[in-house]
């Protein structure tokens, strides 16, 4: 969840600027404090609770010289948000500074041993044991490289670690189940938990694998394995412009990304739908056979996309189920040689999903990653990868990645089962323009104006729209901070109806899927209890008599209607949050990439 930036450069006056720019590029991940450390003849550390603006106020007006430095944005796990718990952390003598993402599971026993040996701790964090372990090894005569390795050898848990030493122009780093990527530029080397931290400086990257160590200095990098042997690395080129990570004139990243959805869908479909040949094909999956069963594993928004994908496979005659990744255990859930495990993860770094995929790999089943990030841990961990091609998503609340995941899962189910309905293929061609028409004619501001002060919001759907009901409610919760729940429409009367009042608007997803009349029946139930009704529908003539607002969806294939309907829910959630003055791009307590279990 936290963000790391590191720099080993050729111009000593640039380090602080690079680190601060990098932290700004990582703000989207969510954080509650931040800090930087510059190494020269000493180590100068600046850190502060709150947003980057608070850290900037602590920085000196003078240039802080030094060719190597590290920075960090923290999302609290051990210890409350505070100046003293912010990273970087140092040893007793302030000779080494460390930043860390992840959780050190054995920190307490390590801390107790170090305290007994005379070390003094200044924070409540698990991270602070690392610089003290390094200090201890230095006291035993180890070099900087040896001390860093020996300290890491004592850690249990997940981590991405970076360290700098006084009087040393080298940055030391390693990873275990938490992402780190190296950037290779003309003016030096960069290290980060995600590419946006340094994309303005270089698009040439090397993704580190678990257990690898890297040393960066102004002239280059050296990567070794856990035994100290040199590792041959592969460089990749990031195929998006730094401007893609900007707001492009929109008030918020989230709004920009909602409006980027038609383009994202076109990219997802490109080269995969052959309308003339009436087929769907995915080059990266050309050697994958039709599975006997499919297990989807995912979290949050991706889990709702997985629910949608599982229904697609079941309709094509393949047993499929979506599991919350944190609850998936192939040692308990039966798998066999015909089982396929599909991990749906926007970032490709979600800890719970990666753990589930690794469990599937150990069980010997075939795995596919459906992800947005080339070079991500999920992409490297799985046998096959289907990239959703949504481009960078900076807003914490997922929008265009959800639409692209849904689209990719329709493609996946079609490609693996040989489904070639020409009506679906024609609907694919129209989908981006239909999405644009919703964006152009949105009535979201009017709906938000009417219901922004509601006590709670319910979203109901049936069939393929049920997962979108869950996702629509999640968006409302994430950015408005108001209570919202999604339900299968038929379940409304089995308990939740007790909560319906005139101050609980119900958003009803009414689709022409053979179940519209049943959903309208549920609408009548809430209408009879004086609840306002907002209908999101492709059959407006059927639901108009019972709705206070109609948000129309263009006619399309049954499987694609939910992708369009969700745009309305995104826009309404955004408009309510905006009218309430919420922090839309960085909702409280949330992070973009959840890299702890």
Q: Are residues 221 and 270 in the same domain?
A: no
**Average pLDDT of the residues in 487-493:** 84
Please write the tens of the pLDDT for every residue from 377-390.
Answer: 899 899 999 999 99
Number of H helices, E strands in the chain: 17, 26
Q: Which of 220, 243, 266 is the last residue of a domain?
A: 243
Strand-pairing partners, residue 33, are 49, 74
Give the residue among 446, 553, 451 at the shortest CA–CA distance from 510: 553
Query: Which run of H or of E encompasses 89?
Result: strand 89-90
pLDDT confidence of residue 470: 98
Q: Are residues 158 and 35 in the same domain?
A: yes
Q: Are residues 114 and 233 in the same domain?
A: yes
Number of domains in the chain: 3
Please write the tens of the pLDDT for every residue from 276-312.
Answer: 777 899 999 989 989 999 999 999 999 999 999 999 9
pTM, full prediction: 0.82
pLDDT confidence of residue 35: 94
Sorting pLDDT into bands at 50, 70 and 90, what band is 196?
A: confident
Residue 592 a catalytic site member: yes
Residue 1: pLDDT above 60?
Answer: no
Residue 2 a catalytic site member: yes
Distance CA 296, CA 325 (A): 8
Q: Are residues 395 and 462 in the same domain?
A: no
Q: Are residues 257 and 153 in the same domain?
A: no
Please write the tens of the pLDDT for every residue from 33-69.
Answer: 899 999 999 999 999 998 888 999 989 877 788 999 9
Distance CA 128, CA 94 (A): 12
pLDDT confidence of residue 591: 63
Q: Are residues 208 and 286 in the same domain?
A: no
Q: Which of 399, 417, 438 is the last residue of a domain?
A: 438
> In whole numbers, what is the pLDDT of the chain averaged over residues?
91
pLDDT confidence of residue 242: 59
Residue 495: pLDDT above 60?
Answer: yes
Residue 343: pLDDT above 80?
Answer: yes
Q: Are residues 256 and 235 in the same domain?
A: no
CATH number for the domain that contains residue 55: 3.60.20.10
Q: Are residues 215 and 281 in the same domain?
A: no
Give the residue among 498, 497, 505 at the shortest CA–CA distance from 476: 505
The catalytic residue among 2, 189, 299, 382 is: 2
Please write the tens of the pLDDT for every residue from 129-152.
Answer: 999 999 999 999 999 999 999 999
Enclosing domain of residue 141: 3-243
Concatenating the DSSP letter of every residue in 170-183 gives -EEEEEESS--EEE
Q: Are residues 178 and 269 in the same domain?
A: no
Please write the tens of the pLDDT for every residue from 521-576.
Answer: 877 888 868 789 999 999 999 989 989 999 999 999 999 999 999 999 999 999 99
Six-digit token pair at 530? 């004086």
pLDDT confidence of residue 421: 87
Q: Are residues 419 and 459 in the same domain?
A: no
Residue 597: pLDDT above 60?
Answer: no
Q: Are residues 229 and 310 in the same domain?
A: no
Q: Which of 243, 269, 300 is the last residue of a domain?
A: 243
Determine whether 234 is exposed, middle or buried from the number of CB atoms within 10 Å of its CB (0-12, 13-18, 19+): exposed
Q: Are residues 374 and 522 in the same domain?
A: no
Residues in the chain: 597
Terminal C-alpha separation, the chain? 11
The answer for residues whose C-beta is within 8 angstroms of residue 315's C-beta and 6 or more apart is none
CATH number for the domain that contains residue 315: 3.40.50.10490
Residue 2: pLDDT above 90?
Answer: no
To the nearest whole percent, how much of the chain has pLDDT over 70?
97
Distance CA 445, CA 448 (A): 5
Residue 433: pLDDT above 60?
Answer: yes
The catalytic residue among 256, 475, 482, 592 is: 592
Residue 76: pLDDT above 80?
Answer: no
- Cβ atoms of 54 and 32 within 8 Å: the answer is no
- Percentages helix, strand, coil for the chain (3-state, rounded to 5) are 35, 25, 40
């Amino acid at each position: 969840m936290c963000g790391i930036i590191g720099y080993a450069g050729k111009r000593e006056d640039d380090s602080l600027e690079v680190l601060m720019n990098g932290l700004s590029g990582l703000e989207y991940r969510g954080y509650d404090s931040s800090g930087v450390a510059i190494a020269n003849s000493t180590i100068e550390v600046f850190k502060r609770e709150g947003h980057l603006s608070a850290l900037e106020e602590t920085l000196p007006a003078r240039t802080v010289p030094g060719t190597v430095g590290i920075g960090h944005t923290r999302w609290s796990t051990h210890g409350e948000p505070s100046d003293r718990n912010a990273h970087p952390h140092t040893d007793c003598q302030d000779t080494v500074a460390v930043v860390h993402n992840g959780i050190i599971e054995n920190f307490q026993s390590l801390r107790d041993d170090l305290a007994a040996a005379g070390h003094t701790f200044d924070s409540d964090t698990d991270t602070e044991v690392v610089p003290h372990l390094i200090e201890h090894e230095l006291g035993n005569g180890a070099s900087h490289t040896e001390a860093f390795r020996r300290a890491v050898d004592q850690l249990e848990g997940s981590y991405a670690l970076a360290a700098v030493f006084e009087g040393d122009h080298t940055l030391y780093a390693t990873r275990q189940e938490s992402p780190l990527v190296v950037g290779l530029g003309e003016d030096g080397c960069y290290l980060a938990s995600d590419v946006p931290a340094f994309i303005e400086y270089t698009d040439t990257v090397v993704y580190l694998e678990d257990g690898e160590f890297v040393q960066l200095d102004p002239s280059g990098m050296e990567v070794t394995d856990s035994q100290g042997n040199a590792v041959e690395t592969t460089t990749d080129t990031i195929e998006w412009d730094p401007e893609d990570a900007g707001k492009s004139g929109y008030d918020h990243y989230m709004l920009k990304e909602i409006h980027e959805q038609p383009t994202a869908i076109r990219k997802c479909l490109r080269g995969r739908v052959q309308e003339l040949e009436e087929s769907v094909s995915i080059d990266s999956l050309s050697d994958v056979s039709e599975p006997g069963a499919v297990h989807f594993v995912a979290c949050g928004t991706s889990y709702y996309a997985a629910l949608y994908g599982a229904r697609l496979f079941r309709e094509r005659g393949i047993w499929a189920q979506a599991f919350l990744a944190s609850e998936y255990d192939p040692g308990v859930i039966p798998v066999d040689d015909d089982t396929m495990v599909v991990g749906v993860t926007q970032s490709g770094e979600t800890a719970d999903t990666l753990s589930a995929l690794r469990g599937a790999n150990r069980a010997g089943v075939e795995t596919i990653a459906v992800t947005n990030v080339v070079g991500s841990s999920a992409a490297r961990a799985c046998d096959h990868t289907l990239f959703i091609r949504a481009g960078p998503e900076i807003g914490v609340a997922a929008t265009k990645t959800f639409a692209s995941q849904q689209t990719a899962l329709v493609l996946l189910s079609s490609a693996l089962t040989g489904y070639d309905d020409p009506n679906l293929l024609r609907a694919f061609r129209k989908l981006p323009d239909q999405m644009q028409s919703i964006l152009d004619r949105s009535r979201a501001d009017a709906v938000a104006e009417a219901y922004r002060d509601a006590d709670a919001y319910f979203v109901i759907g049936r069939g393929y729209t049920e997962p979108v009901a869950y996702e629509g409610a999640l968006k409302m919760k994430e950015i408005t901070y108001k209570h919202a729940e999604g339900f299968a429409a038929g379940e409304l009367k089995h308990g939740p109806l007790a909560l319906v009042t005139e101050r609980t608007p119900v958003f009803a997803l009414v689709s022409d899927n053979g179940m519209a009349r049943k959903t309208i029946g549920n609408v009548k139930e809430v209408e009879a209890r004086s609840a306002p009704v907002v209908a999101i529908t492709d059959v407006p003539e059927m639901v108009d008599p019972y709705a206070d607002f109609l948000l129309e969806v263009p006619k399309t294939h049954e499987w694609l209607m939910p992708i369009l309907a969700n745009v309305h829910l995104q826009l309404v959630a955004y408009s309510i949050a905006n009218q309430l003055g919420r922090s839309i791009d960085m909702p409280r307590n949330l992070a973009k990439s959840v890299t702890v279990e």
